[in-house]
Amino acid sequence: MTATLNESGRDLLFRTARTHNGWLDKPVSDDVLRELYDLMKWAPTSANTSPARILFLRTLQAKERLCPFLMPQNVEKTMKAPVTAIIAYDLKFYDKLPKLFLHRDGIREYFASQPQLAVETARRNSALQGGYFILAARALGLDCGPMSGFDNAKVDAEFFGAESKLFPQGQIESNFICNLGYGDTSKLFPRNPRLDFSEACAVL
């Protein structure tokens, strides 16, 4: 019989997990960030493309570089979060495919020769990996505050542009941002409802 999560595990990942806007003054270590990535990386992407690239912002200086590009309502919670992750994608993810997808010759050239397909693949699969990132963080006892209220182009220029020594210039584009830490439950809003099965699903 296939193993399944018990009810408390399902609660941890889904039913009682919340999007957090307030944070406790409790740091997140580099070891935990590494453990988070080492957990999420095993989840599936098409052709094992694994295009997500993650930049973790922890220092005040790094956060101050980000804040001018956030919507006003996202500034305070980002500055107070122990870590802010920029979930991005590598437009030339296919350069890693000779390492990642061993059982098909020519897979790098397949994507490299089709730029539009490569962009669509990078965006879709980095979003998938962003979802896995949230679940992995929750599995490790972290809380998350994902958001999309920011200027992607300016964030990309600031962190992935000509001055960046972290990733290849011009290859990386941001998808969304996720604050990480230990949430202050006193700052939670009442939980919004979700659609019922009959409203969102059909079976043929």
Residues 6 or more apart whose Cβ sits within 8 Å of residue 154 = 68, 69
154-175 per-position pLDDT tens digit? 999 999 987 777 887 779 999 9
6-29 per-position pLDDT tens digit? 999 999 999 999 999 999 999 999
47-69 per-position pLDDT tens digit? 999 999 999 999 999 999 999 99
What pLDDT sits at residue 161?
87
64-103 per-position pLDDT tens digit? 999 999 999 999 999 999 999 999 999 999 999 999 999 8
What's the chain's average pLDDT?
96
Residues 6 or more apart whose Cβ sits within 8 Å of residue 137 = 36, 143, 144, 178, 180
106-118 per-position pLDDT tens digit? 999 999 999 999 9
Beta-strand relationship, 143-147 and 83-90 = unpaired
Task: Name all domains of the chain by residue range, CATH numbers in brackets.
Answer: 19-181 (3.40.109.10)
What pLDDT sits at residue 178?
98
What pLDDT sits at residue 170?
78
Is residue 1's pLDDT more than 70?
Answer: no
Q: State how far the Cα of 140 lies from the Cα of 134, in Å rounded to an integer.
A: 10
